[in-house]
Amino acid sequence: MARPVLRTALCDMLGIEYPVILAGMGPVAGGITGPVATAKLVAAVSNAGGLGVIGGAGFSPERLREEINTVRSMTDKPFGVDLLLPSNFMGGAAAGGEMPQDPRELIPAETYAGVRKLVEDLGIAWEKAPDTPRPQRPRGAGMSDAQMEVVIEEKVAVFASGLGSPAQWMDRLKANGTKVLSLVGNVKNAKRVAATGVDIVVAQGTEAGGHTGRVATLALVPQAIDAVSPTPVVAAGGIADGRGLAAALAMGAVGAWCGTAFLVADEANQPELQKQRILAATDEDTRVTRLYSGKTMRNITNPLIEAWEASGIQALPMGLQGLLIQDLVHSVRKAGREELLMNAAGQVSGLLTGTRPAAEILHDIVNGAADIIARQLPETVEAVPGD
């Protein structure tokens, strides 16, 4: 396949060949394999001309540093790091200094009992996860603070905040020459992050896999562009082929941030079962749920998600919800029912047909868009002159 040519302002800003960014995707499937976007996938996308981004959220600061250096050993091209900077981790208890020695004390007994019943109703024996000694390192806000120190010390080319605002870090990131991207799901947050001086706003529509808001990409992107101009906007959510990228560029976005498309890359770090479930999914097989993280997250649906949503159990804040479902994840894994674990993916899953190398996925997206743009619009469309 001929190497496509497609450049936008994003390419010049980030020093990349194509206006496509690999979403910095974190862990799925109860963290069995760690984050999805690790060095192999990140380097593959950067080497192919896009921008690879490490899904750093689940990494300890030490592991994050290692991963950055592994990518550096695999490519001399620019790449980024994505972290979550949630403002309400553990319901604010972590920030307020009122965290009990064992944060699990903050979990209401009836919520725990409710979760246990959901699992048992699916014929799975309940088993407590072994109490593994936790390393003495800060969690939540403290954790992302320590991860951010690594991003700054390592002077990464691009930093992306997946949740929350990078405001408190902007001066130090800018001093390093790091380009800062911020993901948002509505116009209010687009304005908020643009006001902090981020270089690029990533407007992510509800069809996206992973944490997601309520506004669809086609509605959000033009509104975000109007709200934050002249800050450039990258479109995310539902973009997995040339038609999606061409549409994003037609709306005025400078590029696309793609997650689901790369979930089935050979280099994507997630269990084969999760990849196969994405390939088997249709456009209607995802559901937004707070079950796995406490925040609204789009997943390939499964009977546990359906039961959780039907139960009306109130999710706990991010951080605590993860602790709430620790025993659930353990029991599900013990029973060999990995299809009930987190399998974040977007509505565009139905478009994916097979696993293949990340470079091929990237080049197909870019080639498809370049072709549409060269032909202007599909031949079925005729321009009708106005009066």
Ligand X SMILES: Cc1cc2nc3c(=O)[nH]c(=O)nc-3n(C[C@H](O)[C@H](O)[C@H](O)COP(=O)(O)O)c2cc1C
What residues make contact with ligand X under the rule CB under 6 A?
23-26, 28, 36, 55, 57, 82, 84, 162, 183, 204, 207-210, 236-239, 257-261, 263, 344-346, 348
Q: How far is the CB of 98 from ligand X (least distance, A)?
A: 27
Q: Which is nearer to ligand X, 84 or 141 (CB)?
A: 84
At which residue do the structure tokens 């546990």 appear? 304
Collapsed DSSP state (helix, strand, coil) of residue 233: strand
Length of the chain counted residue by residue: 387
Q: Which has the closest alpha carbon to 358: 301, 243, 275, 282?
A: 275
The residue (of 231 and 349) whose beta carbon lies closer to ligand X is: 349
Closest distance to ligand X from the beta carbon of 336 (Å)? 22
CB atoms within 10 A of CB 160: 28
Compute the least distance from the CB of residue 130 to ligand X, in Å: 26
Nearest distance, CB of residue 139 and ligand X, angstroms: 16
Residue closer to ligand X (CB basis): 294 or 313? 294
Q: Could you tell me the smallest distance in angstroms from the CB atom of residue 79 to ligand X? A: 15
CA distance 5 to 71: 25
Of 189 and 204, nearer to ligand X (C-beta) is 204
Minimal distance, residue 117 CB to ligand X, in Å: 28
115 or 265: CB nearest ligand X: 265
| Residue 52 φ/ψ, nearest 5 degrees | -80, 145
Q: Which is nearer to ligand X, 87 or 376 (CB)?
A: 87
Q: Is the separation of the CB atoms in 25 and 36 below 8 Å?
A: yes
**Coil, strand or helix at 161:** strand
17 or 82: CB nearest ligand X: 82
Under DSSP, is residue 310 helix (H, G, I), strand (E, B) or coil?
helix
Q: How far is the CB of 178 from ligand X (least distance, A)?
A: 16
Considering the complex, state which of residue 107 and residue 218 has its C-beta at the smaller distance from ligand X. 218
Can you give the C-alpha Rg of the chain in angstroms?
A: 21
Closer of 33 and 311 to ligand X (Cβ): 33
Using alpha carbons, select from 106, 112, 46, 58 the residue that is nearest to residue 331: 112
Nearer to ligand X, 106 or 254 (CB): 254
Identify whether the C-beta of residue 254 lies closer than 8 Å to the C-beta of residue 200: yes
Kind of pairing between the strands at 20-22 and 256-258: parallel
Give CA–CA dist 201/216, Å, rounded.
16
Query: Which run of H or E residues covers position 273?
Result: helix 272-280
State the minimum distance, in angstroms, from the CB of residue 83 to ligand X.
Answer: 8
Pairing verdict, β 79-84 and 210-211: unpaired
CB 265 within 8 A of CB 334: no
Please report how close the Cβ of residue 256 comes to ligand X at its closest, in angstroms. Answer: 8
Q: How far apart are CA 199 and CA 194, in angstroms?
A: 8
The answer to whether the bond into 130 is cis (omega within 30° of 0) is no
Report the candidate in 272, 365, 278, 369 with the shortest Cα–Cα distance to residue 48. 365
Residue whose entry in the numeric block shows the structure tokens 């937004």: 288
Closest approach of ligand X to the CB of residue 294, in Å: 14
289: its two tokens = 């749920």
